[in-house]
Amino acid sequence: MARTLYVAAAGPDSGMSAVVLGLFEAMSRRVGRVAAFRPLTRDGARDRLLELIERRYLIDVRPAWGTTYDHIYADPDAAMATVLERFGTLDHENDAVLVIGTDYRAAGAANEPSLNAQLATNLSAAAIVVVDGRSGEDADEVATAAALARSVLIEHGAPVLGVVANRVPPERMNDVRVSLERIRREPEELIAVMPGSRLIEAPSVEQVLEACDAHLISGDPNRLDDQALAFTVAAMTLPRVLGGLKTGGLVFVPGDRFDILVGVLMAHRSNTFPRLSGVVLTGGVTPDPIITRLLAGLGTGLPVALTNRTTFDAATRVAAARGRLTDGSWRRADAALSLVSQHLDTTALLDRLDLTRSRTVTPLMFEHDLAERARADRRRIVLPEGTEPRVLRAAAAVTKRGIADIILLGAPEQVLAAATQSGVDLTGMEILDPCDEKLRHRMAAEYAAARAHKGITFEAALDIVTDVSYAGTLLVRLGLADGMVSGAVHTTAHTIRPAFELIGTREGTSIVSSVFFMCLADRVLVYGDCAVNPDPTAPQLADIAVSSAHTAEAFGVEPRVALLSYSTGDSGHGVDVDKVRQATELVRGRAPDLAVEGPIQYDAATDAGVAATKLPGSAVAGRATVLIFPDLNTGNNTYKAVQRSAGALAVGPVLQGLRKPVNDLSRGATVQDIITTIAITAVQAQQLTAEADAVPSGTVSSGTVPSGTTTGPVAK
C-alpha cells in the first residue's frame, strides 16, 4: 500500500497548486513511483494541474481522478465508492500518492472543508492544510482559518501533519509565523510560511497580448512565455520613460511615438537598463517601413506587438490579467518549486509520512541528488561556448539554482548580445575573453611549457589558446576553473583533445573512457564505454569496468558490473569472448569486493527470468547496474537504440580517468542535458579534490590521446 498525502486548501485562492507541485517533486525524489490523484473534478473536465504534472514528470495521469462534484452532491455514497475504486488502482501500483483536494470553485463550496475531511479519511491519507496568507486584516485571521480547516480534518479522523500559509505579503511573514506557532497542536507539526511570487502570479507576455487583442509584429515568438512582471505606460519624454523601466517590465507605447519605441529597445539591448519582457504599441498605428527595418537591425528578440486599442484601454485590460501556474510555463513552474524548497521543510514532512527512501534510483531522484550535492560545495565550471543560446539558458538556470559558479568564454560584447537575444540574465556569471592580452599571455606560457616536448613555442601558443576549447581546458589546468563542459556546437575531438594534452590521466588509470547514465522510467543504468575507445584490449576493458563502477557509486548507483558479450558464462569461445573473460578476471583481481560478472549477454544481465536460466546463483545476473560493452560499435549503437526505442534520457558522455573533470555534450543536447552535465562535472570536481586531500599525490601520466581513441562525431 502506498503512503498517501492529502493537500487540503482552507479556502479559495490559497495557491495550492504551487504546494502540490513542490510536494510531488519532493516525493518523487524519495521513491520510484508516485501518482497524483484528484478525487473530484468539475464535470469530468480536463484538469490542468494533473496535465502539468504529467508533462513535467512524464507520467500517465489520465486515470488519476475520481468523480465529479455533481455526482458527490447527488449520490455521496456511490460517488465515494467510485473515488475509492479509482484510487485503489493507483494505491496498489505506486509507492506514494499525492491527493489534490478541492479548489472551492464549485457549487457547494461552503461544504468543502467537511468534504475534504471525508475524502482524506476514506483514502487513509495524512493531510497538510494550505491557507491563503493574504486573507483577513491581521495574522491571527490567517491562523484562525488554518485552525478551523485542521479541526474539521481531525474530527473526521484524518491526521494533519502541518499547516502552510501561502502567498503571505513580505511585511507580514513574521507575524503570520508567530500566529501559526500559537495554534501548533504538537511539537512535530510542520509550520511553514511562504511569500507570494510575482513570477508565479504575473501574466505571460502571451496572456498580455490576448488581454488587449494585440498581435506580434517583431521579436522572438519563444519569448511570449516570459512573465510580464511590471507595466510602464510610456506617456512622457524619453528620459522619464527610461527612468521608469523595471526588470521584466512590459511597456505600452503610443503607436505614433516611434522615438520612444526605439529608445526603449536600445535601452533593453544595452544591458545597462533593466531587461524587459515586451512592448505593446497602442492605437493601431503600424510602424513605418524604415522603423521596421531598424527594429530588425537591432536584433533584440524582444516581443513587440500592436493593438488597435488606446493606451488607457489596453493597460486597463492587462491590469486584470493573472498568471496561472498551469499555463505550461516551465519558468513559472521552476519558480514554484524553488519557493516550496526554500520555505517548506519537505524532508521533515515526508519523514513524518514515513516515506522511506527507495533503493531504486529513478531519473528524477538521480537529477535531484546531483543538484543537491553540487550545491553543497559549489565549484567553478567553465563553459567555452559562451554565445550558444542553450548554453546560456542552462548557465542562467544553474546560477539561479546555486548548482555551480559559471564562467562563460567569449568576447564580452558578443556574449552580452547573445544573452540579450535569448532573453538570458547574466547576473552572477563571469565572462572571460580568451583574447584578453593578460589572460592570453598567461595561458600561452602554460601551454608552451606543457607542450614544449612537442616543439610548441610561446609564439605558436599565443594563437592556439584563443581557441575556446583550449582556453577552457587551460583555465581548468591553471586552477581558475574546477571543470569544463563543452560540445553543444563543437565536435568531440574539439572538446576532449585539449584535455588529453593538458589534463592527463589519474594515477592508476591507464585510459580515459566514458559512461552514459541511462535514465529509464524506474531506474538508472550506467553504460560504458560508448563514446571514446573503439576496441579496447582486455586490460583496458578491465580499467573501463573499474572506472565505471567507481563513477556509478559516486553518483548513487550501486555498482553491479556486467561485462557484456554475445555469450554467457562458459557457453562460448572465440577471440571476442575470451577478451571479455580475461577482462573480467582482471577486474576481480583488482577489485575483489566488486560484484562483477562476465562474459554475459545483455538479457541475462538485466532480466531476472533469463538470468535464472542462463546464470543461476549470480549476484549480478538479472540485477546489473553497470554494463560494459566490448567495443565502441556495440556500445554506441546500444545506447542510442535504448535512448530512442525506450524513451530513455541519456546523460553523457561523462569522461572518467582524467585528473580534472572535462565533459563533452551531444550537439543535440537540450538545456536540461547541459544543466545535468554541469552538475555532474561539479560533483566530479568535489570528488577529485576529496581524493587528492585524502591520498598523497603521486606521479600522474602526461596527457596523451589513448591509442585508437576516437575523437570524431561518431562518439556522440
> 643-660 pLDDT, tens per residue?
888 777 788 788 988 889
pLDDT at res. 429: 94
Residues 162-184: tens digit of each pLDDT: 999 999 998 999 999 999 999 99
Q: Residue 124 domain-assigned?
A: yes
* Long-range contacts of 314-321, Cβ-Cβ distance < 8 Å, separation of 24 or more: 314/212, 314/214, 314/252, 314/280, 314/282, 315/212, 315/231, 315/233, 315/252, 317/211, 317/212, 318/203, 318/208, 318/211, 318/212, 318/228, 318/231, 318/250, 319/231, 320/211, 321/203, 321/207, 321/208, 321/211
pLDDT at res. 710: 39
Sheet with 126-132: strands ordered across: 65-68, 34-41, 96-100, 3-9, 126-132, 160-168, 190-195
Same domain, 88 and 108: yes
Q: Residue 215 domain-assigned?
A: yes
Last residue in a domain, options 480, 502, 524: 502
pLDDT at res. 354: 80
Please say whether the beta carbons of 700 and 622 come within 8 A. Answer: no
Residues 293-306: tens digit of each pLDDT: 887 777 778 899 99
Same domain, 373 and 493: yes
Q: What is the mean pLDDT of the chain?
A: 85
- Using alpha carbons, select from 609, 669, 605 the residue that is nearest to residue 638: 605
Please say whether the beta carbons of 283 and 256 come within 8 A. Answer: yes
Same domain, 526 and 627: yes
Residue 230 has pLDDT above 60, yes or no: yes
Helix/strand/coil for 164? strand
pLDDT at res. 356: 58
Please say whether the beta carbons of 509 and 547 come within 8 A. Answer: yes
Q: Taking residues 387-400, what's their average pLDDT?
A: 91
Please say whether the beta carbons of 562 and 612 come within 8 A. Answer: no
Same domain, 169 and 63: yes
Last residue in a domain, options 640, 656, 672: 656
Q: What does DSSP assign to residue 204?
A: B
Residue 691 has pLDDT above 80, yes or no: no
Residue 701 has pLDDT above 50, yes or no: no
38-54 as b/e, with b when 16 or more CB fall inside 10 Å?
Answer: bbbbeeeeebebbebbb
Residue 711 has pLDDT above 60, yes or no: no
Residue 692 has pLDDT above 80, yes or no: no
Q: Please, what is the angle between helix 330-343 and helix 389-401, to 10°? A: 20
Q: Which of 258-262, 356-360, 438-442, 554-558 has the highest mean pLDDT?
A: 438-442
Contacts of 551 (CB under 8 A, 6+ apart): 515, 526, 528, 654, 656
pLDDT at res. 585: 94
Least confident of 118-132, 358-372, 412-426, 597-611: 358-372
Same domain, 445 and 564: no
Q: Tell me the CATH number at 402.
A: 3.40.50.10950
Q: Tell me the CATH number at 547.
A: 3.40.50.10750
Structure confidence at residue 113 as a pLDDT band (50, 70, 90): confident
Residue 262 has pLDDT above 50, yes or no: yes
Residues 326-372: tens digit of each pLDDT: 666 677 788 888 889 889 999 899 888 886 555 556 666 677 778 88
Structure confidence at residue 405 as a pLDDT band (50, 70, 90): very high
pLDDT at res. 440: 94
Residues 54-104: tens digit of each pLDDT: 877 767 665 688 888 888 888 887 888 888 888 887 877 888 899 999 877
Name the grid cell of 536: 579496447
Residues 2-48: tens digit of each pLDDT: 689 999 998 888 888 899 999 998 988 888 788 899 998 876 666 78
- Using alpha carbons, select from 297, 295, 313 the residue that is nearest to residue 305: 295
Q: Taking residues 316-320, what's their average pLDDT?
A: 84
Please say whether the beta carbons of 505 and 703 come within 8 A. Answer: yes
pLDDT at res. 147: 93
- Degrees to nearest 5, angle at CA 712 with 711 and 716: 100
Q: Residue 704 domain-assigned?
A: no
Length of the chain: 716
Please say whether the beta carbons of 634 and 566 come within 8 A. Answer: no
% of the chain at pLDDT higher than 90: 39
Q: Residue 34 domain-assigned?
A: yes
**Alpha carbons 469 and 708: distance in angstroms, whole number:** 22
Neighbours of 344 (CB within 10 A): 23
Please say whether the beta carbons of 175 and 138 come within 8 A. Answer: yes
What is the total count of domains within the chain?
Answer: 4
Residues 528-538: tens digit of each pLDDT: 899 888 999 99
More confident residue, 235 or 447: 447
Same domain, 30 and 163: yes
Cα distances (Å, whole numbers) of residue 269 to 379, 401, 417, 420: 31, 25, 8, 6
Last residue in a domain, options 502, 524, 542: 502
pLDDT at res. 358: 55
Same domain, 10 and 144: yes
Q: Residue 394 domain-assigned?
A: yes
- Whole-structure pTM value: 0.64
Q: Tell me the CATH number at 266.
A: 3.40.1390.20
- Using alpha carbons, select from 261, 286, 260, 275 the residue that is nearest to residue 205: 275
**Alpha carbons 420 and 411: distance in angstroms, whole number:** 14
pLDDT at res. 224: 85
Q: What does DSSP assign to residue 423?
A: T
User: Which structural domain, as residue segments, surrounds residue 435?
Assistant: 363-502
Same domain, 193 and 67: yes
Please say whether the beta carbons of 128 and 163 come within 8 A. Answer: yes
Same domain, 139 and 274: no
Contacts of 123 (CB under 8 A, 6+ apart): 4, 6, 39, 83, 84, 87, 99
Same domain, 518 and 574: yes
**Alpha carbons 306 and 214: distance in angstroms, whole number:** 5
Cα distances (Å, whole numbers) of residue 119 to 124, 297, 527: 9, 60, 45
Helix/strand/coil for 116? helix
- Please compute Rg for the chain using Cα positions: 29
Same domain, 229 and 80: no
- DSSP, residue by residue, 452-500: GGGT--HHHHHHHTTSHHHHHHHHHHTTS-SEEEE-SSS-HHHHHHHHH
More confident residue, 572 or 308: 308
Q: Taking residues 50-54, what's their average pLDDT?
A: 82
Q: Residue 103 domain-assigned?
A: yes
pLDDT at res. 703: 39
Please say whether the beta carbons of 307 and 214 come within 8 A. Answer: yes
353-389 as b/e, with b when 16 or more CB fall inside 10 Å?
Answer: bebeebeebbbbbbbbbbbebbeeeebbbbbbbbbbb
Same domain, 476 and 585: no
Q: Residue 278 domain-assigned?
A: yes
Q: Residue 673 domain-assigned?
A: no
Structure confidence at residue 252 as a pLDDT band (50, 70, 90): very high
Q: Taking residues 282-310, what's their average pLDDT?
A: 86
- Using alpha carbons, select from 435, 379, 367 the residue that is nearest to residue 407: 379
Cα distances (Å, whole numbers) of residue 445 to 441, 449, 450, 457: 6, 6, 9, 9
